[in-house]
Structures are given as structure tokens and as C-alpha cells.
Structure 1
Amino acid sequence: MPVIVLEASDLTSPLSLVRMWALLSGCLTFSLVASLVPSELTSDTHQPSFRILCMFTWCLFFILTLLIHVVNIIQFHSLVPISWKNLTVTVAALATLMTLSATVTFPWAVMCHEGAWPRPIAASLASCLTFLAYAIEAYLIRNQTKDQKGYMASVPGLLKVLQLWGGCEMIVLVVEQVRGALVKVGLAAVGWQLWVSGAGYALCLLMSLGTVMVVLGDCAGRCPLPFDRLLAGFSLTGVLLYVVATLLCFTRVLELRKRDQDLTDRKTGPTLVVMEAVMASITLLAYTVDLAFSIKLLRDRSHA
């Protein structure tokens, strides 16, 4: 198939303009963050895991958006061994959620304990613009015609993206809590509840990532098991694991409220546990709704 370059009207389409907006604001964001000097960061390197996740998010989706934009310009879709319809909406939806998290957590992790400076504030504003660009891109792709949309643009597909985002955030929350416990007290301070929750989050993240990769690679037909039944099994497993993790989170929140802690722990420890409980509840809701969709699909096919 010959390579066809888009016409000028296609380059100025809303989707292309929004992607260029995301590229510019994303580049500005990680450039500002990379240029921060030590004096503009907190003296106690507060929440380094969140800062690393924010930087990784901005750089990763800048690269992915750039590749998608270039491939879209030169019409290289047929040579890409990935479902193009599913890839674009997956990147846009996941980037929306991840940049939203980065926009919220970066000011909290970097600025709130030491004051505010021009470049961190500018980076936060640029991250907010990046989030808006990806949100508009996801909306535009979601409202395309049925022939232009893939499975990942449907409600079950977007729920898979939400589950993947929730898993990434949960892993970072667990890592940060373990790091804080090791720095302050030692490995013995890490309770068994955190290890159980972390194992459940990791397993669910692997299932969500595997599902998304199978859909992007158009490998559902080559799956040795019926793919719809496999998705239902993954959703059920995710519901069970996140129910356990959510209950453990709320148990730890109650324990921390009863325990006498110093001022630093009151600011840091309970905050991370509450964030984990909120994120676990959101992800549990996503798995529950996804399970309902999977059961409905299986029931419709059994009656067909």
C-alpha cells in the first residue's frame, strides 16, 4: 500500500490540532520539571515515587502521541501491527487519567510543604492544559462513527483503561508507603495488610494490562479460551481482590486514627492510606460495572 500524506485540511482537523496541543503542553510540562533546581524542591524529598510517576507520565504520553501523530500524517496504519482504532482511544483515555493524576499529585508532592515557585506553578498549569488536550482528544475519538471506533472506545473498553489506571496508581501508593516505613522504622513496620493489598493490586494490573494488549494486538480470536468468558473471569477476580483490598484499606485507616503518631506521620501516613482507600473504591466500582457488562454479554450470547 503506498504511503499517502494527509492533505492540509486533514492536518488542521480538530483531532490533529488537539494532538499538537497535547504535544506542545506535554513538552513544556516535562521541560519545566526537568529544569527544576534542588532549591525548588522540598528539602526532604517528599513523596519521590509520585514525582517519578508524574515525570514518567508526561514523557511517555508525549512519545506515544508524537508517534501516533506522525503515523497518522503519513498514513502508515497498514504497516503497524496493532489495531489502530483501539490504540488511539486507549492512549487518549489512559493519558487523560494519568495526566489528571499527575496534575493533582505534582503540586502536592513537590510544592505544598515548602511553598510555591514560578517554575513548579508553571509546570502544574502546563500539566492541566495537557490533561484538557487529552480529554478533548478522547471525546473526539469517542464520538467518531462506528466504523472508526474500536472496542476500546466502548464502555467496557474504557472501563479496562480505568482499571489499568487504578492499578498503576495503587502500585505507586503501596511503594511509597513501604518506602516511608523503611525510612522511618524498618521493614517490620510494614503490616501484612499492605503486602496482601500490594499483591492483589499487582495481579489485577497484570490482568488489565494483558487484556488491553490482547485487544490492541487483535489476538482475541487466537485466545485458547473464549475471550468473553476470560474477561468475565478477570472482572470477577478483580472484584474479589479489590473488595479484600478496600476492606483492608479502611481497616488501616481506622487503626491509624487510633494510634498515637508524631506530627509528620499525621500528615503523611494517614493521607496515603486514605488516598489508597479512595482509589481502591473507584477501581472496585470499575471492576464491578465491567463484570455486569460481561455477564450481560454472556447472557445475550447464550440466548442468541
Structure 2
Amino acid sequence: MPVIVLEASDFISPLFLVRTLEVLSSCSTFSLVASLEPSELNNNTAHSQHFHRFWFFCMFTWGLFFTLTLLIHILSVIQFHSLLPISWKNLTMTVAVLGAMMCLSASFVFPWFIVDHQKVSPRMVMAAVAACFTFVAYSSESYILRIQTHEQRGYMGSMPGLLKILQLWGGCQMIPLAVEMTCGQPRQPFWQLWVSCASYSVCIFMSLVTLVVILGDFAGRCPLPFDKFLAGSSMIGVMLYMVATVISFTKVMQLKYNSHSYGLVIIEAVLVSITLLVYTVDLAFSIKLLCDRSHT
């Protein structure tokens, strides 16, 4: 089978150029951060315990989306994606939107927890700028894909699909925070910790299952009607995140303002509230869809 490549005009298309920028900026970002000397990084005693966990989170984010984008870029150039047993339009939209949100988080975490603000070196500034360029590149691809027709952008480009991506993003933010809460707050009540972690884990698992079903076009093969499955998972997510929200705000009220974990607990409370709002809106969309189908 001969290899088919893009036409010459496609190599200067906005989508091709923005994916090239994503590959270059993400590669530059994690390369610059990996090359930083230990003396350039945050050695503040109050933040040193956060360093390794959040450094791993940032490096994993940039490395993961660099790899995914490079594979998508190569497959798009050689036009090999039509042979893959996946929904290509949903995959590209998911990687673009999730990449934008995850890179936004990494762009915030890197200067806040990793950079030593008393010793800012040129490489640290370049890494922070490259991280921002990575976020802008993924946001640009998301916009380009979003303005396409409904048939071209797929389910993940619709409002319910974008809400599914935001749910997965919210769950991914909870992972490093939950680890930090576990290691950084030994006095935290045992039941609060495990109830929160169980809620996040169940919601992340449901989001991944939903994503696999959509990307693999398995909706027609599910034993349960897919729209009812989506409504049920959204309802479970709302209930679990309601519990997690109550726990997170309880921890905020229990902590002292000058505690070194106060900022992290505030961030957790804000992210949990945002994710709860996303699940609530998604549940409303799912109920509306079920009601519309019942009347037809």
C-alpha cells in the first residue's frame, strides 16, 4: 500500500502550523525544565515538600501531550489515521482541549511551586514562556477544530463532549492534590482522605470509560443505552463531587491561615467546585436529551 502524504498547500494550513508549534513548544518546555540546575529550583522549606510531586506532574503533562501530538501530527501527514480503529475527529478534539487545560494547569503550577522566586534565571523565564506558548498552541487548535462543522469535529466538539473533557481534566487535577493532602497533612482525618480519594477515583474511571467508548465508536455495542449511561454517570459524578466539595470546604475551615498547606486546600476547594458545576451542567444536558428522545 503506497504512503499518501498531504498536498503542498496543507503544510501551510493553520492546523498543520499550530500542531507544529505544539510539538516544538512542549518539547522545548520539558527540555528546559529538565535542564534546570537544582540550585535554580525552589529550595524554600515551606514548599520543598511539594517540589517533586508537582515537578513530576508538569513533566508528565508536557511529555504526554508532546508524544500524543507528535503521533497525531505524523499520522495526519502520511494520512494513515483512516486505517486506525478509532474515531479520529473525536481523538484530535480530545487531545487538543485536554492538552490546553492540562498545559494551563502546568503553566500555573511551574512558576508557583517549582520556581525559586528569589533566584530567577534566564532558563527559568524561557521555560515559563515556552509553557505559556504550549497552552496558547493547544488553545488555538481547540478553536480551529471547534469552528469546523459538526460532522468534522465529532461528539467531543459539542458542548456535552467538551463537558466530558472538563470532567476528566478536573479529575486529573485531583490526583497530585490528593497525593499532597495524603503526604502533607498527616493530621487530616482518615475518613475525609479516603472518601475524597474514592470519589475522585470513581469519577476518573467513569470519565475514562466514557472516553474509550466514544473514541472506539462502541456506543452501539453497549448493553445499556449510551445516553442513559451518560446520564447515570453524570448523576453519580454530581453526588460524589457534592460529598468531596463538602469535605474540601470543611478542610478550609479547619486549617489556619498561616498553614503551609492552606493554599493547596483552597486550590482543591476551587477545583472541586468547578468540577461539580461541570457535572451538574452535563447532567442537565443528559436529562434534556433523554426527555427530547422520549417525546419523539
Q: Partner residue of 1:92?
A: 96
Query: Separation in 1 of the partners of 2:141 and 2:82?
Result: 22
Q: Does 1:78 align with 2:82?
A: yes
Q: Distance in 2 between matches of 1:112 and 1:37?
A: 11
* Alignment partner of 1:24 is 2:28: no
Distance in 2, Cα, partners of 1:5 & 1:127: 30
Structure-2 change in CA distance of 1:56 and 1:136 (3 Å): same
Report deviation, 1:221. 0.7
Partner of 2:280: 288
Per the alignment, in what secondary structure is the counterpart of residue 224 of structure 1? coil
Identity of aligned residues (%): 60
Q: Deviations over 1:86-142 (max 9, x none)?
A: 000000000000000000011111125654222122111100000000000000001
Mapped to 1, the partners of 2:212 and 2:166 lie a distance apart of 15
Give 1:117's match in structure 2, choosing from 113, 116, 121: 121
Deviations 1:241-260 (A, max 9, x none): 11111111111101113xxx
Deviation readout 1:18-39 (Å, 9 max, x if unpaired)? 0001111111101001101111
Please give the per-residue CA displacement for 1:250-279, whole angstroms capped at 9, x wherever unaligned. 11101113xxx8x5xx2x211111100000
- Are 1:148 and 2:161 an aligned pair? no
Unaligned runs of 5+ in 1: none
In the alignment, what sits opposite 1:206?
205
Give, as a single letter, the amino acid of the residue that structure 1 aligns with 2:153: K
Q: How many Å separate the matches in 2 of 1:82 and 1:269?
A: 42
The match for 1:196 is: 195
Q: Following TM superposition, where does structure 1 have runs of at least 4 consecutive aligned residues deviating by more than 6 angstroms? A: none
| Aligned residues of 2:150 and 2:157 also touching (Cα < 8 A) | no
Q: Is the 8 A contact 1:178 1:190 kept in 2?
A: no
CA distance in 2, matches of 1:86, 1:252: 38
Deviations 1:186-210 (A, max 9, x none): 4x54542122111101110110111
Q: Is the 8 A contact 1:46 1:109 kept in 2?
A: no
TM-score (norm 2): 0.95
Q: What's the TM-score, normalizing by structure 1?
A: 0.92
